[in-house]
């Protein structure tokens, strides 16, 4: 029985999550919305376990950011990784290299995005 894949831990996408095959012996789970992907595995079962074990802490909200950090932002035009600067009231959209004013944006926010944790070896 195929294991059900949870939502994307980064952007929260639920529909466009699937397996990505590097070749016959390598598979990962990929979110086609934000392109987040697991490590390469030798089986769908292992890749699904890795994907489903990832923490899902970020939630979407209409409330504007309260600190200068990186966030996900989405509106009717799609979703983007952004850098919020509260001192300047600006938002840098990395994917488009465009700056907008925070007060003018009416979409949803998710974040701040936490820094990755280092693996202990």
Per-residue pLDDT of the chain (121 residues; tens, 9 = 90+): 567 999 988 778 888 889 888 877 899 999 988 888 888 889 999 999 989 988 777 788 999 999 999 888 989 988 888 999 999 999 998 767 889 999 999 999 988 876 655 555 4
The CA distances from residue 15 to 83, 105, 108, 116, in Å, are 26, 25, 18, 25
Count structural domains, the chain. 2
Which range marks the domain in which residue 63 is found?
58-116
| pTM check: above 0.75 | no
Are 2 and 34 contained in the same domain? yes
Are 76 and 107 contained in the same domain? yes
pLDDT attached to residue 120: 55
Do 97 and 82 contact (CB within 8 A), yes or no?
no
What whole-number distance in Å separates Cα of residue 106 and Cα of residue 93?
14
pLDDT attached to residue 33: 84
pLDDT attached to residue 22: 80
pLDDT attached to residue 48: 93
In a domain, 121, yes or no: no
Structure tokens at 54: 């990832």
């Amino acid at each position: 029985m195929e294991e059900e894949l949870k939502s994307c831990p980064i952007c929260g996408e639920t529909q466009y999550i699937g397996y990505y095959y590097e070749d016959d012996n390598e598979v990962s789970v990929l979110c086609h919305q934000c392109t987040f992907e697991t490590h390469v595995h030798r089986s769908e079962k292992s890749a699904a376990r890795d994907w489903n074990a990832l923490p899902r802490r970020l939630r979407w909200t209409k409330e504007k950011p309260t600190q200068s950090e990186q966030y996900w932002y989405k509106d009717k035009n799609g979703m983007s990784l952004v850098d919020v600067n509260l001192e300047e009231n600006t938002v840098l959209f990395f994917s488009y290299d465009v700056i907008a004013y925070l007060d003018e944006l009416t979409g949803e926010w998710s974040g701040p995005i936490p820094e990755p944790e280092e693996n202990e070896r």
